[in-house]
Amino acid sequence: MLRKRRFLIGGIIVFLVIGYLVFLGFQSSATYYYSVSEFMQPGNLTYGENVRVKGKVAPGSVVQEAVGRVIKFTIVEENKNLPVVYQGVVPDTFKVGADVVVEGQLDATGVFQATQVMPQCPSRYVPVPR
């Protein structure tokens, strides 16, 4: 009887730990993102808080520095723009005019310091005309 009770208690503990880990996984993957216009509204600016912001890469705004893999660009939506600085390698699908989600923090100077850049895939495939 004591053996069954220990097995039952051990099983419950394992089940609770697995449930907690699943909860943490879903919580981190379900992060909401703001559009540029939502993020730039007065009262919404959160300095030093990790957020995601979605917008289009503005034409003529992409500047890649030769040293250190730093890329600077601006994302826009509805006449609102947000300057972004990212240090790292950008994905191949990153291009001017494409939708992109950036994750990071807004610094005190109003520049978004991105820790991750995620270009959005087009909703449907359009073949190149021949």
Q: Could you tell me the residue range of the domain that residue 23 belongs to?
A: 1-30
* Of the listed ranges 24-33, 62-71, 78-87, 93-102, the one predicted with least confidence: 24-33
**Domains in the chain: how many in total?**
2
**pLDDT at residue 126 tops 90:** no
Give the model's pLDDT for residue 39. Answer: 84
pLDDT band at 30 (very low <50, low <70, confident <90, very high): low
End-to-end CA distance of the chain: 77
> DSSP characters for 20-67?
HHHHHHHHHH---EEEHHHHTSTTT--BT--EEEEEEEPTT--EE-SS
If asked whether residues 80 and 111 sit together in one domain, one would say yes
If asked whether residues 14 and 39 sit together in one domain, one would say no
HSE, side-chain direction, 13 A CA sphere, residue 69? 6
pTM: 0.68
If asked whether residues 60 and 7 sit together in one domain, one would say no
* CA–CA dist 97, 40 (Å, integer): 20
Asked whether residue 129 is assigned to any structural domain, the reply reads no
Site of tokens 């703001």: 34
- Exposed e or buried b per residue across 27-61, where buried means at least 16 C-beta atoms within 10 angstroms of its C-beta: eeeeeeebebbebbeeeeeeeeeebbbbbbbbeee
